[in-house]
């Protein structure tokens, strides 16, 4: 028994000891404990509360300041000041509960980790190629923006030191050097964001300022490192040792470690495929190792992070990809933390007397004059005019977060006291805030010169000024000859639009020139693989030129700014959309020229217009593809892909294939239809894209074609539109857009694989039985559109009056065109008749028509011309097209008809959209609203509303003053 007792005794003792140990109470809201009470053993609770308040305050302020076109750093600095003793610190108990002194070391630790990472990102941003592109001018301006401010700062340091600084705390030499650095430094990251907001990144001034800012930033950090080294050194010999160690470490990082990182990037495949986990691990270790070394030698940890960023390879977009991985965490959490700590040390209430305010104004004025005069004079010497030089000087005066980092370093080193620190914080805030409005005043948009990727501006383009093209669009005027479009600008903005761009490019490619020595059965079979290999080469006059313009959105994210300043050639080589489109072009024997533009989304239309004028494009081609093609929705939250069966005449009640507009223009869809509404982000995306399209329609001076792809359902027997055989349908109401559509379809029919049916639609009594039906060819009456002037004024001019131009529900205005007169209306009708009879056979002359070149004559044999008269022309048109679409894949080529339209369809569209019968497409009509009609026009909207299974090519002629 004693043996058993001895065996169980250890377990009994262990249990007894565990029972005696009382678990430490964690505390919390449920136990009545204050959740803001600081616990050094568990600081995470208060830290989360602090970070939540900081982020919320910063974001609220940034929403308001964004409307004033101010960078986010202003909100971050103001947020710190608001939460500090200047404002919220005056609320009893706020600082004691939310930011107690004992919790600040934890905040400081987190903020300094983020600051090291931020300086690493700053180093990543700096690309020496930017300086090399404009080396001479940027170095002159950078030197001018450093030397004069440093000298003026040293002069101001004398009275400041004598008035506010305790000689026992900081030496005069250290203070003088520090003030000179604070005056001479420029905030390169903030400068990038200001240039983005002012749309100056691709302006000649913006490129030069950016290059000068890089050099200024590097010199400023070197001077600050030297200042900190001198302050931390106990003697001159120690300062020399610190300086030598700093130089040695810099050389070690910039030479052997840079080569090692390049080798590692290539060995791991990070350059071609993005940073691997091994490369990211090595990069993070490098950042903090470098920060540790610079800190222990007596400089500052942030310089180590900055040096690490300088050696990351930029090849293959590696630096940009690493920035994308880190920037959100740094900008959303770490930087606001740092600025809050800065704000907790800023007390504007200490600026409480005239002497203090006098010196504050002196600091502000001298700091601006130093940067403004130094940068402006240097810019004049570099060859800029006075206005441009003043703009450069103003932009260089922005301080932002870089000066705040410098000030915090000075405060922690004991060079500044709280009062002087607050004076300099106010100066940095005011100068950064003033940079945007002063730049807009000095350098308004109409004076700017947009620069290309290599720095040359568009004013010197070979062949004449932009937009000065000798060839004129035939569809907009009255011409007799056939004007073939040979230069196309294809817009590539999103991956989901690539399929539509390919379908459209398939239509644009020229026909293969047949070899007479090849057997007839091979020449006439477009699907025969021998036809391509045995065809002869195209002559220069038969070829077409296609330029693919890749649009990349520019935001205020650091990675986007880096991408915008990168060499365009590198971006083009890495861009997946351009690579896919180039491969497609090569497979179809088309020469594709790559172009790329990085711009803010609201400026996409301006960039397209600039490139169209520069290249002399005959037609700008846009694409729009539905993100939900081939999907049916079973409930409000789940989308299950499945084949959709549909009869040619009656769409199923559950809704046929969705179109690009169901995601946006559905009104009360959840309540009125069994089809679930699209997710909010998809509707928002479609809204944004429709606005871009409408801006382009309204502003471009070139003909525009918008291709809306509605591919057939899965399992459908209708051939895919990317196949060689395509049937086009053209509704011809009249007007410049319809004339453009007719001319373009004739050109597309030059290919033997393409056929077309052209309907001349006349609003009137119904076509008698047997007239105007499928297969019958008739010409339009000579005076089908010529009516008395009173009727013209009453029925046709009404849609163009300003009272009928309304804004959409999201405040985006519709395209506004000037009112038209009776004479203009009659001239346009005459042009319609001339254009129609140029191609359609004339019944009164035994089917004769004007003579054309042989290839055009052959194309006209594949086009069927019909006339349809109906009191409801849109419904009659869609019924005719629906009958054709039941047998073959159809692409409807329609005029947008927002300018000089021959008919007003407002009443019929109202009836069509309000229809509740399934033949009329009630479920489709729920997806059509004002936004669609403003984007596509009434005729194209009628196709969508009626559920017609056709892709659309919406054409708009350039508004060049013609009829």
Tens-digit pLDDT profile for residues 215-252: 787 888 788 888 777 777 766 677 788 888 888 999 99
Q: Evaluate if residue 276 carries a pLDDT over 90.
A: yes
User: Which pLDDT score, from 0 to 100, does residue 346 have?
Assistant: 85
939 confidence band (pLDDT: 50, 70, 90): confident
pLDDT at position 787 is 37
pLDDT (0 to 100) of residue 678: 47
pLDDT at 933: 76
Residues 6+ apart with CB under 8 A from 540: none
Max CA separation in the chain (angstroms): 130
CA torsion sign, 572 to 576 to 581 to 584? positive
Neighbours of 715 (CB within 10 A): 10
CB 225 within 8 A of CB 246: yes
For residue 168, what are the contacts with CB-CB under 8 A and spacing of at least 6? none
Long-range contact set of residues 638-645: C-beta below 8 Å, sequence gap at least 24: 639/676, 642/714, 643/713, 643/714, 643/715, 644/713, 644/714, 645/713, 645/715
**What pLDDT is stored for residue 53 in this prediction?**
92
Is residue 512 within 8 A of residue 728, CB to CB? The reply is no
Question: Which pLDDT does position 283 carry in this prediction?
Answer: 95
User: Are 332 and 110 a contacting pair, CB within 8 Å?
Assistant: no
pLDDT greater than 70 at residue 21: no
Q: Where residue 619 falls among pLDDT bands split at 50, 70, 90?
A: very high
Q: What percent of the chain has pLDDT over 90?
A: 18
- Dihedral angle over CA of 638, 641, 646, 650, nearest 10: 20
What SS3 class is residue 844?
Answer: helix
Q: Which residues of 247-274 are buried (b: 16+ CB within 10 A; e: fewer)?
A: eebbeebeeebbeebbebbeebebbeeb
DSSP, residue by residue, 599-662: E-GGGHHHHHHHHHHHHT-SEEEEEEE-TTTTEEESSSS-EEE------SSS--TT-SS--TTH
Higher pLDDT, 201 or 56: 56
**CA 874, CA 759: separation in Å to the nearest integer?**
11
Average pLDDT over residues 376-400: 90
In this prediction, residue 703 carries a pLDDT of: 92
pLDDT digits (tens, 9 = 90+) for 519-575: 555 445 555 554 445 444 555 446 788 999 999 888 778 787 777 777 677 788 888
Provide the Cα torsion 740, 746, 751, 755; round to 10°. Answer: 110
Task: Return mean pLDDT, the chain.
Answer: 75
Stretch 766-792: mean pLDDT, rounded?
Answer: 39
Give start and end residues of each alpha helix (H) in 478-617: 498-508, 520-523, 529-534, 558-565, 568-574, 576-587, 604-615
Q: Judge whether residue 606 has pLDDT over 80.
A: yes
Which letter does DSSP use for residue 804 in this model? G
Report the 3 state secondary structure along 193-258.
HHHHHCCCCCEHHHHHHHHHHHHHHHHHHHHHHHHHHHHHCCCHHHHHHHHHHHHHHHHHHHHHHH
SS3 27: coil
Please provide the distance, in angstroms rounded to a whole number, between the alpha carbons at the two ends of the chain.
116
Among residues 916, 925, 932, the alpha carbon closest in space to that of 947 is found at 925
pLDDT at 455: 36
Give the Cα-Cα-Cα angle 786, 788, 793 (nearest 5 degrees).
100
Q: Which has more confidence, 268 or 710?
A: 268
| Rounded CA separation 691/931 (Å) | 9
The predicted pLDDT at position 913 comes to: 66
C-alpha–C-alpha distance, residues 572 and 583, integer Å: 14
Q: Which tokens hold the place of 620?
A: 């700008």
Could you tell me the pLDDT band of residue 716, with boundaries at 50, 70 and 90?
low
Distance CA 849, CA 861 (A): 12
Arithmetic mean of pLDDT, 884-896: 85
The listed range with the strongest mean pLDDT (64-78, 287-301, 786-800) is 287-301
- Give CA–CA dist 471/166, Å, rounded: 77
Q: How many CB atoms lie within 10 A of CB 396?
A: 30
* ∠ Cα 680 683 686 (to 5°): 150
pLDDT (0 to 100) of residue 24: 52
Please state which of the ranges 245-254, 267-276, 722-731, 818-827 shows the lowest mean pLDDT: 818-827
Banded pLDDT at 279 (limits 50, 70, 90): very high
Q: What is the mean pLDDT of residues 600-612?
A: 87
β-bridge pairing 592-599 and 545-553: parallel
d(CA 726, CA 888): 8
Average pLDDT (454-459) is 36
Asked if 403 contacts 410 with a C-beta cutoff of 8 angstroms, the reply is no
Q: What is the mean pLDDT of residues 826-855?
A: 76
Does residue 4 have a pLDDT over 60?
Answer: no
> How many of the other CB atoms lie within 10 Å of CB of 559?
22
Return the structure tokens found at 814: 């519709």
Is the backbone of residue 455 left (phi > 0), alpha (psi -120 to 50) or beta?
Answer: left
- On the question of pLDDT at 818 being above 70, the answer is no
Sign of the dihedral through C-alpha 421, 426, 429, 434: negative
Tens of pLDDT, residue by residue over 160-190, are 999 988 888 788 888 888 899 889 888 877 8
35 φ, ψ to 5°?
-65, -20
Q: What is the pLDDT of residues 315-332, one digit of tens each?
A: 888 998 999 999 888 988
Strands (E), 735-807: 754-763
- Residue 943 CB-half CA count within 13 A: 30
Mean pLDDT of 908-937: 59
The residue-averaged pLDDT of 882-888 equals 80
Torsion 487-492-493-496 (CA) sign: positive
Give me the pLDDT at residue 814, please: 46
Query: What value does the mean pLDDT take over residues 816-841?
Result: 75
pLDDT tens per residue, range 484-527: 888 899 999 888 888 888 888 888 877 654 444 545 554 455 55
Q: What are phi and psi of 217, to 5 degrees?
A: -65, -45
461 — pLDDT class (breaks 50, 70, 90): very low
């Amino acid at each position: 028994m004693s043996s058993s007792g001895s065996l169980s005794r250890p377990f009994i003792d262990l249990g007894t000891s565990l029972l005696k140990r009382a678990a430490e109470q964690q505390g919390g809201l449920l136990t009545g404990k204050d959740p803001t009470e600081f616990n050094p053993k568990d600081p995470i609770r208060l830290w989360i509360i602090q970070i939540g308040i900081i982020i919320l305050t910063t974001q609220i302020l940034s929403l308001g300041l964004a409307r004033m076109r101010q960078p986010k750093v202003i909100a971050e600095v103001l947020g710190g000041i608001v939460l500090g003793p200047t404002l919220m610190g005056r609320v009893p108990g706020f600082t004691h509960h939310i930011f107690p002194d004992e919790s600040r070391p934890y905040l400081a630790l987190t903020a300094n980790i983020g600051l090291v990472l931020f300086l690493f990102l700053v180093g990543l941003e700096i690309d020496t190629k930017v300086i090399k592109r404009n080396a001479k001018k940027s170095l002159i301006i950078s030197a001018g923006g450093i030397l004069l401010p440093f000298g003026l700062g040293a002069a101001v340091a004398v009275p400041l030191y004598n008035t506010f600084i305790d000689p026992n705390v900081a030496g005069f030499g250290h203070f003088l050097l520090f003030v000179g650095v604070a005056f001479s430094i420029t905030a390169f990251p903030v400068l990038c964001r200001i240039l983005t907001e002012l749309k100056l990144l691709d302006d000649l001034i913006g490129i030069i300022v950016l290059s000068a800012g890089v050099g200024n930033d590097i010199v400023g950090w070197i001077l600050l490192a030297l200042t900190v080294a001198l302050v931390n050194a106990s003697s001159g010999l120690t300062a020399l040792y610190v300086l030598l160690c700093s130089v040695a470490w810099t050389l070690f990082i910039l030479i052997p470690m840079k080569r090692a990182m390049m080798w590692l990037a290539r060995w791991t495949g990070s350059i071609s495929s993005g940073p691997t986990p091994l490369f990211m691990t090595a990069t993070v270790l490098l950042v903090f190792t470098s920060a540790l070394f610079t800190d222990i030698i007596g400089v500052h940890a942030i310089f180590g992070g900055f040096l690490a960023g300088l050696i990351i390879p930029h090849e293959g977009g590696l630096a940009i990809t690493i920035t994308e991985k880190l920037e959100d965490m740094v900008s959303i959490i770490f930087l606001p933390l740092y600025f809050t700590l800065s704000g907790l040390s800023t007390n504007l209430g200490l600026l409480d007397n005239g002497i203090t305010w006098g010196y504050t104004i002196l600091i502000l004025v001298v700091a601006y004059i130093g940067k403004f005069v130094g940068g402006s004079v240097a810019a004049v010497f570099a060859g800029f005019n006075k206005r441009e030089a003043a703009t450069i000087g103003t932009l260089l005066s922005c301080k932002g977060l870089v000066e705040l980092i410098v000030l915090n370093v000075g405060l922690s080193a004991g060079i500044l006291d709280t009062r002087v620190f607050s004076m300099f914080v106010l100066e940095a805030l005011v100068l950064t805030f003033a940079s945007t409005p002063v730049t807009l005043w000095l350098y308004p948009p109409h004076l700017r010169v947009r620069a290309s990727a290599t720095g040359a501006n568009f004013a010197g383009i070979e062949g004449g000024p932009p937009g000065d093209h000798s060839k004129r669009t035939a569809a907009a005027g009255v011409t007799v000859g056939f004007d073939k479009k040979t230069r196309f600008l294809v817009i590539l903005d999103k991956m989901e639009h690539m399929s539509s761009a390919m379908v459209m490019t398939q239509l644009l490619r020229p026909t293969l020139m047949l070899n007479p020595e090849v057997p007839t059965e091979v020449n006439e079979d477009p699907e025969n693989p021998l036809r391509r290999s045995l065809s002869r080469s195209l002559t220069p006059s038969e070829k077409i030129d296609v330029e693919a313009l890749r649009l990349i959105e520019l935001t205020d994210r650091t990675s986007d700014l880096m991408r915008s300043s990168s060499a365009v050639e590198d971006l083009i080589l890495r861009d997946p959309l351009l690579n896919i489109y180039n491969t497609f072009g090569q497979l179809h024997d088309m020469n594709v020229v790559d172009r790329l533009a990085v711009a803010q989304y609201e400026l996409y239309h301006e960039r397209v217009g600039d490139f169209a004028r520069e290249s002399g494009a005959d037609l700008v081609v846009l694409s729009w593809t539905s993100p939900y093609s081939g999907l049916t929705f079973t409930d409000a939250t789940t989308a299950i892909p499945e084949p959709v069966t549909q009869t040619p005449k009656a769409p199923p009640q559950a809704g046929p294939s969705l179109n690009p507009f169901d995601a946006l223009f559905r009104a009360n869809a959840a309540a009125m239809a069994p089809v679930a509404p699209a997710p909010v982000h998809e509707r928002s995306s479609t809204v944004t894209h429709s606005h871009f399209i409408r801006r382009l329609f309204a502003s471009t001076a070139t003909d525009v074609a918008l291709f809306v792809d509605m591919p057939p359902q899965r399992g459908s027997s209708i051939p895919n539109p990317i196949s060689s055989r395509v049937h086009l349908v053209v509704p011809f109401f009249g007007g410049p857009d319809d004339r453009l559509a007719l001319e373009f379809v004739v050109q597309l029919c030059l290919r033997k694989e393409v056929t077309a049916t052209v309907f001349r639609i006349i609003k009137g009594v119904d076509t008698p039985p047997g007239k105007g039906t499928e297969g019958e060819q008739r010409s339009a009456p000579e005076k089908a559109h010529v009516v008395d002037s009173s009727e013209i004024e009453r029925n046709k001019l009404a849609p163009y009056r300003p009272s009928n131009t309304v804004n959409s529900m999201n405040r985006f205005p519709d395209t506004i065109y000037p009112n038209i007169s009776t004479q203009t209306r009659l001239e346009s009708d005459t042009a319609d008749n001339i254009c129609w009879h140029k191609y359609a056979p004339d019944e009164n002359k035994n089917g004769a028509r004007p003579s054309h070149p042989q290839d055009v004559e052959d194309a006209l044999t594949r086009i069927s011309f019909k006339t349809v008269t109906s009191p409801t022309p849109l419904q009659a048109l869609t019924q005719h097209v629906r009958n054709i679409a039941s047998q073959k894949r159809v692409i409807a080529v329609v005029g947008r008809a927002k300018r000089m339209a021959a008919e007003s369809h407002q009443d019929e569209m109202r009836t069509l959209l309000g229809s509740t019968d399934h033949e009329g497409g009630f479920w489709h009509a729920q997806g059509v609203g004002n936004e669609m009609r403003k984007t596509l026009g009434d005729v194209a909207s009628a196709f969508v509303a009626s559920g017609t299974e056709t892709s659309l090519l919406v054409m708009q002629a350039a508004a060049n003053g013609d009829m």
